[in-house]
Amino acid sequence: MFGGVFARGSAIIDDRAWLQAMLDAEAGLARALERAGLAPAGTGGAVTRAARAADFDIAELGELSALTGNPVPGLARALARQVGGQPGRVVHRGATSQDILDTAAMLLAAVAIDATRADLTAAAAAAAELAREHRPTPMIGRTLLQQAVPVTFGAVAAGWLAGLDAAISGLTLVRDTRLAVQFGGPAGTLASLGPDGIRVKAMLADELGLADPPLPWHTERLRIIDVGAASARVTAALSKIARDVTLLAQTEVAEVAEGAGTDTGSGSPDGGAAPRRGGSSAMPNKVNPVAAVAVLGCAKQAPGLLATLVAAAEQEHQRAAGAWHAEWQPYGQLLQVAASAASWGAELLANLEVDTGKMAANLSAAGGLPLAERVSALLRTAIGGPEAHDLVATAAAKAATSGVPLRDILLADPDLEEKLTRAGITQADIEQALDPAGYLGAAADFTDAALAAHEGGISW
């Protein structure tokens, strides 16, 4: 029911994905045992051919998991039956349930990270294009949701870009250094395989494309946390962008809008027109920022999911009683919402419509108030810092309540006019100080720096 929002993109981390990852782990183990000379020739191929999720009953495996506290024992028996003969007797040899589930978790992370990283890369490319295009575009800056000094939309997009690049860097670090096979047997010693255990562990890692850690990590859960944290960082970077878009897309602001995005279907169930992107079930006039809202819906789930993984990291002795089990669902869900958010984010930025005219109109409608800081600095030379600040603050309050531009309020003050004349400050100087284009500081330089870092593959 909710998959269109929370299970978007090419990485779907559902029951079938978990099942296939566990089967892949079992098949990899069979191949490793054959390579080590501990299983007859052809065993690995036979198990691998049988290890197809479509041939197993997920509901039945779920019911069997109630007997053992996890789904692996039932799966191992079902796979052995599916393989049959001598190869079937090799299934799961030397392993414990946690070996298979933890290894499956690492395989899922590899799939999810690759998909998420691809979508983030597309989102970053779109953000970079926005930054380049709008490098000089002035707009109102906003702090604490109130108007502040002017900024550029290029600098805003550059900030989005920097966050995306950092999220990509975090995913890459985890993908390259933290995804490791789990293989230790019942208590982390591989005793049942004798002197061959270490070799089989290395071969299993090689078969599955995972790192071979120095020892099993059954109750050392930092790898799980690292995967979760990298995923949560993805949603954090994307949620900042999505929140900005929802605020800038408000009817009263209207500085950006979501483009059409992906087609939602060919028609309604009753044969009418296709559902309209952003439409409301009650208000025909509505055009909601669906992609941004979906990103936020994914991102809001991430902190709680990550917190559960961190809380579950305290695991006793050689096998946890409950804490390991508590990881399974939030781990998969966190991978899923990060992948989904990245897919939505790529679409959001690729189709974002920027209304530079509305940005200029909003800046003009502010009546010069965003430039109060600059005017205060100008007046400081004539009347002193504290007095200049207080005078401009009073004038700004009058401008805000009366709707009269700050320029007119200032120039209508005869006492100030006299002081400005003595200081050699002209009306033209006041008007220049109120020009937003002249008070953008290092916005263009910061934008260029973010673009250079992006193009050089640097994340700060």
Of the chain, the percentage scoring pLDDT greater than 70 comes to: 94
The predicted model gives 98-127 an average pLDDT of 98
Instruction: Specify whether the CB–CB gap between 140 and 370 falls below 8 A.
Output: yes
List the catalytic residue out of 280, 364, 402, 422: 280
Instruction: Specify whether the CB–CB gap between 272 and 343 falls below 8 A.
Output: no
* Same-domain check for residues 337 and 390: no
44 assigned to some structural domain: yes
Q: Indicate whether 418 pLDDT > 70.
A: yes
Distance, CA of 65 to CA of 320 (rounded, Å)? 17
CB atoms within 10 A of CB 38: 18
* Same-domain check for residues 394 and 286: no
**CATH code of the domain covering residue 147:** 1.20.200.10
List the catalytic residue out of 35, 77, 277, 319: 319
Over residues 347-357, the pLDDT tens digits come to 999 999 999 99
362 assigned to some structural domain: no
| Residue 52 appears among annotated catalytic residues | no
Q: Is 453 exposed, middle or buried (0-12, 13-18, 19+ CB in 10 A)?
A: middle
Structure-token pair, residue 391: 């005078």
* Same-domain check for residues 257 and 156: yes
Assign 425 a pLDDT band (cuts: 50, 70, 90).
confident
Q: How far apart are the first and last CA of the chain?
A: 39
Q: Indicate whether 272 pLDDT > 60.
A: no
139 assigned to some structural domain: yes
* Same-domain check for residues 303 and 391: no
* Same-domain check for residues 391 and 421: yes
The predicted structure's pLDDT at residue 279: 57
Over residues 125-149, the pLDDT tens digits come to 999 999 999 999 999 999 999 999 9
* Same-domain check for residues 400 and 340: no
Among candidates 339, 348, 357, which has minimal Cα distance to 289? 348
Which of 334, 356, 378 is the last residue before a domain boundary? 356
Q: What is the pTM of this model?
A: 0.91
Instruction: Specify whether the CB–CB gap between 221 and 61 falls below 8 A.
Output: no
* Same-domain check for residues 304 and 184: yes
73 assigned to some structural domain: yes
Q: Where are the beta strands (DSSP E) in 280-411?
A: 353-354
438 assigned to some structural domain: no
Q: Of 96-110, 208-222, 366-380, which gets the smallest average pLDDT?
A: 366-380
Assign 341 a pLDDT band (cuts: 50, 70, 90).
very high
19 assigned to some structural domain: yes
The predicted model gives 237-241 an average pLDDT of 98
* Same-domain check for residues 315 and 408: no
Q: Indicate whether 370 pLDDT > 60.
A: yes
The predicted structure's pLDDT at residue 266: 41
* Same-domain check for residues 349 and 373: no
458 assigned to some structural domain: no
* Same-domain check for residues 252 and 386: no
The predicted model gives 57-69 an average pLDDT of 95
* Same-domain check for residues 68 and 42: yes
* Same-domain check for residues 245 and 112: yes
Q: Is 221 exposed, middle or buried (0-12, 13-18, 19+ CB in 10 A)?
A: buried
The predicted structure's pLDDT at residue 427: 86
Parent domain of 408: 369-433
272 assigned to some structural domain: no
State the total domains in the chain.
Answer: 2
Question: What does residue 304 show for φ and ψ, rounded to 5 degrees?
Answer: -65, -40
| Residue 16 appears among annotated catalytic residues | no
